[in-house]
Amino acid sequence: MKKAIWVVVFLGILFVGDRFIGYIFQQQITKSQFRYSRMYRGEGQADILIVGNSRGLNFYQPSVEKATGLTTFSLCYYSMPCEIATVLAKDYLDRYPKVKTVLVETTIVEMSDDKLLPGFTTYMPYSERIDSVLRLKTKETWNYANFSHIYRFNNEVFQRAMYYRNKLDNDWYFDHTITQDLIDQAPHRSVEFKTPDSHVQDLKQLADYCKARNINLQFVIAPIFPTYTVKKLDVFKQKIEAATGITVHDYSKAILDYSSFTDYLHANLKGGAEIVDTMVKDGVLPRAPQTAVSSR
Amino acid sequence: MVFNSITFLIFSVVFFPIYFATKGKLRLWWILLASYVFYGSWDWRFLGIIMLSTFMDFNFGKLIGATENKARRRTYLILSMIMNLGFLGFFKYFNFFIDSFVSLMHTFGLNPGLSTLQILLPVGISFYTFQSLSYTIDIYRREIPVERDMLKFAAFIALFPQLVAGPIVRARDLLPQMETDKKFDWDNFNSGLGRVLWGFFKKVAIADSLAPFVDQCWADPSKFSSSHLLVGVIFYSFQIYCDFSGYSDIAIGLARIMGYRFVENFKTPYFSQSFSEFWTRWHISLSSWLRDYLYIPLGGNRHGKFGTYKNNMITMLLGGLWHGANLAFIFWGFLHGVYLIIQRITTPIWRKFVQLVRMPAFINSAICMIIVYTLTVIAWIYFRSGSMGHRSFSVANTIIGRITSFEEFSWYTVLNKYQVLKGILLLVIMLAVEITNQRMSWNVTQLRRPALRIALFASVLWLIALFGTFGSNSFIYFQF
């Protein structure tokens, strides 16, 4: 009998401890300076919203703000899965409807990182949309995350949020220059961006959502190293344009200077600033009225 | 069926109640059946080999025990060895020797026209072969009595906690324990469960968390800076430790719950101050097996300085070969052989130096530990590359070359810092527990206090929930 009581006590402590520790972690997430925490906390108001994976990080917020004179908020994340990116964008727009422009780096369409997707269990309590995506796409993880609240924080996203607990996450940019070795190999290497139907549909839903709210949505393709081959890029663009009815601005070959790249798919800080300037000139990114006047 | 899977959880829930509800022969049948189900879940065809090996060694044991004729005893022992090593040789080394022979012939301009076979390696064959072999050798040496009960012998060989990755439990240790029916005991349950949980923590939280970083380093080392690769090789040394010792902890814990005591397989090996000490703290069941059945029969340290060096080298080379059919594993064994020989040569000189400069004992210990750890890590680089086929040496050499070049050696060039920080945090937790365990014996004394036990069990489970990787990743030593 005494042993049975200890077993019950143990299970009770295990459960209560799990919920209590989960609660403490959630409090820390809420207070974090990480981008998604700020967004869900209500501190993410900006004029321009950037959505993308690591290629979206080419559009470095301070560079965009300098070139446009407008406040900017980035939802980009390394290997960001498309289904989560579009959900985060909608959550953002629900909370901050006064956004002037949403800029989407469209190669996100090909991303579905099964390893990263479960990482967003950390933000499950803040978003019904994230909850339903995870329930649909990673049912097992979703079950575990409901069974154990500590498990919700067993991921890279939580660790990053803790890293940025007390400092802003505006140090996400590529500061290296591509190595000579990679430059030499570039002509022999290639990539083909895939367009899974479900992800194209995610983009279409985001486009419809923005149209319904009169929000300016811009689709772009960020720069790619000049001698690196991208196969069937036209097909990629056409498929997205046909599904969403929005033009895809192709900047894949807009930068020719090798020193503006970190690797084949990522411009560095210098290249990022160059492309942002080009996008402002092209009108893809808006310009603040006073900036527009002063630049004349 | 791996320990870190839902299937094994279900298996345990079914196994243990029936195990404790049965007695005598019925219990042995249950152990055997459950162990064969456990083993057959990898590939039922492998069951034939283990059954044949069990049947033959049981009968060889009886034949050796039944005669006093020295020549006959030796003949039966040799037949047992031929069978066991034959299985091992065929399944594990056939292709390696064919490949090596063909390469050798090519160097002489000959084309022997031999081809390799598509051979599946039965899981755990290296472990149960050595276990079974030690039984017939011990009978031949008259160190243990002949086992007359075939069922008990089969249950001893197949006992699932140790079947696929050790510890290599010898007949002299386990068979006497199987004489009596073990009753359920709360102390055994608590200390066993504690050990199982700790093993899971080391495997799913530490080893599997370090694995992606390590795999990335070995996949293309030329892409990374020297500091990144240095972190990678240090992580690998702990990945393999946590993976293998984690498995041993789970095996020892499961056996403890059943009422059996297995030999310890690891004793904080990276705190060794010499290589001879390292081999009494790392994979103890294998190193003691090699010592008892290879090194000592070869002459041990009884035939002078050079005889000892030779025996050290042969033992370590075969220890390397035991791990796998690749020159990199043999080279790993060779390096450890060299380390042992150099240690024998330099120890007297070092001792004199320590006395001469009046070096404090703790500094001496620290220097020795660092040297042993560093050289062990260098050997691990070749070991990790051993499963990479013909690329193994080039990958290992690239890693060592890049690290020693100190090119871009800084914290900034270490990628995936989140993984690194997480890894460091987990290693600090693991080392803190294992070091304090040496003084406080968590598993023996502390766990008897219910409140502390609950706190420790719950803490480990919470840590597993927070850091565990739940992909049912296989254990590294399953491939050996």
DSSP per-residue codes, B425-436? HHHHHHHHHHHH
Buried b (16+ CB within 10 A) or exposed e, B313-339: bbbbbebbbbbbbbbbbbbbbbbbbbb
Do residue B50 and residue B151 come from a single domain?
A: yes
Q: What are B242's two structure tokens? A: 């946590």
Q: ipTM of the assembly? A: 0.81
Nearest neighbour of A159 by CB, restricted to B418, B461, B468: B418
pLDDT tens readout for residues B392-436: 788 888 899 889 888 777 787 778 777 888 899 999 999 988 888
Predicted pLDDT at A290: 67
- In Å, what is the CA distance from A168 to each residue of A36, A102, B240, B364? 12, 22, 37, 46
Q: What are B307's two structure tokens? A: 């005889």
Residues of chain A contacting residue B461, judged by C-beta atoms under 8 Å apart: 14
pLDDT band at B1 (very low <50, low <70, confident <90, very high): confident
Q: Which of B303, B323, B336, B390 is catalytic?
A: B323
End position of a domain, from candidates B181, B208, B242: B181
Does a structural domain hold residue B80?
yes
- In Å, what is the CA distance from B42 to each residue of A40, A213, B122, B196? 47, 56, 9, 22
Choose between A20 and A118: higher pLDDT.
Answer: A20
Cβ contact B454–A17 (<8 Å):
no
Chain A residue closest in CA terms to B422:
A159
Domain that includes residue B66, residue range: 6-181
Number of H helices, E strands in chain B: 21, 0
Q: How many domains does chain B have?
A: 2
Does a structural domain hold residue B286?
yes
Residues of chain B contacting residue A150, judged by C-beta atoms under 8 Å apart: 462, 465-466
Do residue B129 and residue B230 come from a single domain?
A: no
Measure the CA–CA gap between A79 and A58, rounded to whole angstroms. Answer: 14
Cβ contact B458–A17 (<8 Å):
yes
Phi and psi angles of residue B150, each rounded to the nearest 5 degrees, phi first: -60, -40
**Alpha-carbon dihedral sign for residues B430, B431, B437, B438:** positive
Are A11 and B461 in contact by the 8 Å Cβ rule? The answer is: no
Q: Is B422 on the interface with A (CB under 8 A)?
A: yes
Predicted pLDDT at A295: 44
Do residue B148 and residue B203 come from a single domain?
A: no
pLDDT tens readout for residues A1-48: 677 888 888 899 999 999 999 999 999 999 999 999 999 999 989 999
Q: Is residue A114 classed as helix, strand or coil in its secondary structure?
A: coil
The closest alpha carbon to A100, from A259, A262, A266, A289, belongs to A289
Q: Is B101 on the interface with A (CB under 8 A)?
A: no
Nearest neighbour of A21 by CB, restricted to B186, B419, B462: B462
Measure the CA–CA gap between B416 and A37, rounded to whole angstroms. Answer: 21
Measure the CA–CA gap between B412 and A54, rounded to whole angstroms. Answer: 19
Cβ contact B467–A156 (<8 Å):
no
pLDDT tens readout for residues B88-132: 888 777 766 676 667 667 667 776 666 655 666 777 888 888 999
Strand A48-51 and strand A229-231: pairing? unpaired
- In Å, what is the CA distance from B148 to each residue of A211, B64, B66, B153, B199? 83, 12, 11, 8, 35
CA-derived radius of gyration, chain B: 23
Distance from CA of A89 to the nearest CA of B (A): 25
End position of a domain, from candidates B162, B181, B200: B181
Cβ contact B186–A3 (<8 Å):
yes
Interface probe for B, chosen from A140, A150, A189 (most Cβ of B below 10 Å), is A150
**Alpha-carbon dihedral sign for residues A22, B194, B128, B12:** negative
- Asked if residue B377 has pLDDT above 60, the reply is yes
pLDDT band at A296 (very low <50, low <70, confident <90, very high): very low
Are A124 and A149 in contact by the 8 Å Cβ rule? The answer is: no
Cβ contact B418–A3 (<8 Å):
no
pLDDT tens readout for residues A194-252: 888 888 998 999 999 999 888 999 999 999 999 998 888 888 999 999 999 999 999 99
Do residue B237 and residue B302 come from a single domain?
A: yes
Residues of chain B contacting residue A28, judged by C-beta atoms under 8 Å apart: none
Read off the pLDDT of each residue in A254-280 and give the average, rounded to a whole number.
90
In order of their start, the domains of chain A are 2-288 (3.40.50.1110)
Nearest neighbour of A6 by CB, restricted to B422, B450, B462: B450
pLDDT tens readout for residues B63-97: 999 888 889 999 999 999 999 888 888 877 776 66
Measure the CA–CA gap between B266 and A59, rounded to whole angstroms. Answer: 51
Do residue B289 and residue B351 come from a single domain?
A: yes
End position of a domain, from candidates B139, B156, B181: B181
pLDDT tens readout for residues B206-228: 999 899 899 989 888 888 888 99
Cβ contact B458–A14 (<8 Å):
yes
Does a structural domain hold residue B1?
no
| Catalytic residue flag (residue B303) | no
